Amino acid sequence: MPQNILNVGEEKMNKTIQAYKNELSLVRTGRANPSVLNGVQVTYYGVLSPLNQIASISVPEAQSLVIKPYDKSILKDIEKAIQLADLNLVPINDGNVIRINFPALTEQRRKELVKEVKNKAEGSKVSIRNIRREMVDQMKKLEKDGEISEDQLKRENEKIQKLTDKFIENVDQVTKEKETMIMEI
Name residue 161's amino acid: Q
Q: 158 and 126, same structural domain?
A: yes
CA distance 32 to 58: 9
Q: 121 and 83, same structural domain?
A: no
Q: For helices 150-183 and 2-25, give the axis angle rounded to 10 degrees.
A: 10
At 89-102, the pLDDT tens digits run 888 888 889 998 87
Q: Of 71, 101, 131, which marks where a domain is finished?
A: 101
CA distance 139 to 120: 29
Residue range of the domain that includes 125: 2-26+106-183
Q: 94 and 44, same structural domain?
A: yes
Name residue 55's amino acid: A
Q: 45 and 94, same structural domain?
A: yes
Q: 96 and 110, same structural domain?
A: no
At 8-53, the pLDDT tens digits run 999 999 999 999 998 887 776 667 778 888 888 888 888 888 988 8
Q: DSSP E strands: which ranges in the chain?
A: 41-44, 47-50, 55-61, 64-69, 91-93, 98-101
Q: Of 45, 72, 101, which marks where a domain is finished?
A: 101
CB under 8 Å to 75, separation ≥6 — which residues? 69, 93, 95, 98
CATH number at residue 65: 3.30.1360.40
Instruction: Give me the pLDDT at residue 130, please.
Output: 96
Identify the band that residue 115 occupies on the pLDDT scale cut at 50, 70 and 90.
very high
